[in-house]
Amino acid sequence: MRKVFQAELQQVGDDLVEIANLVQVALRRAASSLLEADVQEAEEVISNDARIDMLQNHLDERSIDLLALQGPVASDLRMIVGALRMSASLERMGDLARHVAQVTRLRFPEPAVPSDLEGTLREMIELDETIIAAVINLLETRELHYADAVYTAKARINELHQSVFSKVTTAEWSSEAQTTIDVTLLSRYLERFGDHGVSVARKVTYLVTGEWDGSPTTTPPA
Amino acid sequence: MRKVFQAELQQVGDDLVEIANLVQVALRRAASSLLEADVQEAEEVISNDARIDMLQNHLDERSIDLLALQGPVASDLRMIVGALRMSASLERMGDLARHVAQVTRLRFPEPAVPSDLEGTLREMIELDETIIAAVINLLETRELHYADAVYTAKARINELHQSVFSKVTTAEWSSEAQTTIDVTLLSRYLERFGDHGVSVARKVTYLVTGEWDGSPTTTPPA
């Protein structure tokens, strides 16, 4: 019985990694669709998001069955409750990648990103890619230096998120309102993606150490 | 033992209602701070948010203790897992009210809302107030017509959210970029607030009926 339980618990961990891998692919493809104004790539990100949602539901059902049938305690219990929480964060990261793809689709055939903000948004995307890669490594190895990589990347994203608003409100900014809306939302989606990565990193850290660390919390809005 | 368990389970339900009541107050005060450009009210919403976060942590600890000590099964188990999920949604609604207050504070002494969008944002706020009131009634009574009230209000919010972007992108829109950013984010916060209300309503419905209903899902971004 104990052996079956450990195998089931391992499966919950594997499911989390699988979802995180799909989120990584979704982000990469959403970014590519955005920067290349590639509507077909955007469509695929949008339709593939259903698979992330389905996997999250499976993981949740598995977790609830484990709680019901095994009555786990102590660290096993916290791991299962933590998995329920982390799956929700990862699912939301998938949604945010989908939202980026939806902006691409709405503006097609025009690019959604104006050339003077392309560098900033590209750097935010790269930092989100660093974050999801570190989250996957953290889930697989539980080595906490990967959590530090997440927090460092998020701190830089926060700076860039603020810089987008600074740029848009300078006298030189002459793009139309639609572009202002698009970059405001894109910057927010990319900031939120990173923030959910921080949530997952904090949860794994808590599971490993039993203590909440002093990692950065949610950014205030611009 | 069973009696203690039922009392604890009742307490989890009461805690959810208490958090929802604080969210209701936060929304009302954030809305007032926004529409009156009242920075003192905004400050209080921002500092009171810590209390919502603390109550959520208490509820989560209580739920995890119940899982560990009582090994609940079937509907009790689903209720506790559901409470963990709902507390996360309610906490997030509190964050969104705080974000609205933060926009007020950033623009003070100027109002953050331009006069030509005040009516639309005011209606969105009223719908969010309808939603949190219905969520409280739903948590207290489990009568599912309150869930329908949530879905109806959210459908209207989605229309208004789109209309904000339509308005901002007309040729007549002449406000500066900062205002465009502010209304884009405010509209998004109010839409998200309603969306988390829908999540809670769906969860309660699931707990009552055992089935997911066909309520509206997340809106695509503009």
Cis, peptide link before residue B109, omega less than 30° from 0 = yes
Instruction: Assess A99–B contact: CB distance below 8 Å, yes or no.
Output: yes
Distance CA(B193)–CA(B27), nearest Å, equals 9
A/B interface, count of CB pairs below 8 Å: 81
Q: Which two tokens stand for residue B82?
A: 């559901």
B27-53 burial code (b ≥16 CB/10 A, e <16) = bbbbbbbbbebbbebbbbbbebbeebe
Residues of chain B neighbouring A176 (CB-CB closer than 8 A): 169
Are B85 and B201 within 8 A, CB to CB?
no
Distance CA(A35)–CA(A32), nearest Å, equals 5
Using the 8-state DSSP alphabet, how is residue B170 labeled?
A: S
Per-residue pLDDT, A154: 98
Q: Which of A15, A23, A17, A18 lies closest to A63, judged by CA?
A: A15
Per-residue pLDDT, B71: 86
Name the minimum distance, in Å, from the CA of A184 to any CA of chain B: 6
Name the minimum distance, in Å, from the CA of A70 to any CA of chain B: 8
Other C-beta atoms closer than 10 Å to the C-beta of B128 total: 29
Fold of A2-209: Methane Monooxygenase Hydroxylase; Chain G, domain 1 (1.20.58)
Q: pLDDT band for B116, please (50, 70, 90 cuts).
A: very high
Distance CA(A171)–CA(B213), nearest Å, equals 50
Name the minimum distance, in Å, from the CA of A185 to any CA of chain B: 8
Q: Read off the pLDDT of each residue in B73-95 and give the average, rounded to a whole number.
A: 93
Per-residue pLDDT, B1: 61
- The verdict on a CB contact (< 8 Å) between B169 and A188 is no
Instruction: Assess B54–A contact: CB distance below 8 Å, yes or no.
Output: no
Q: Alpha helices, DSSP H only, in A72-144?
A: 74-107, 115-141
Q: Read off the pLDDT of each residue in A137-147 and give the average, rounded to a whole number.
A: 97
End-to-end CA distance of chain A: 53
Per-residue pLDDT, A71: 86
Residues of chain B neighbouring A178 (CB-CB closer than 8 A): 168-169
Q: What is the ipTM of this complex?
A: 0.88
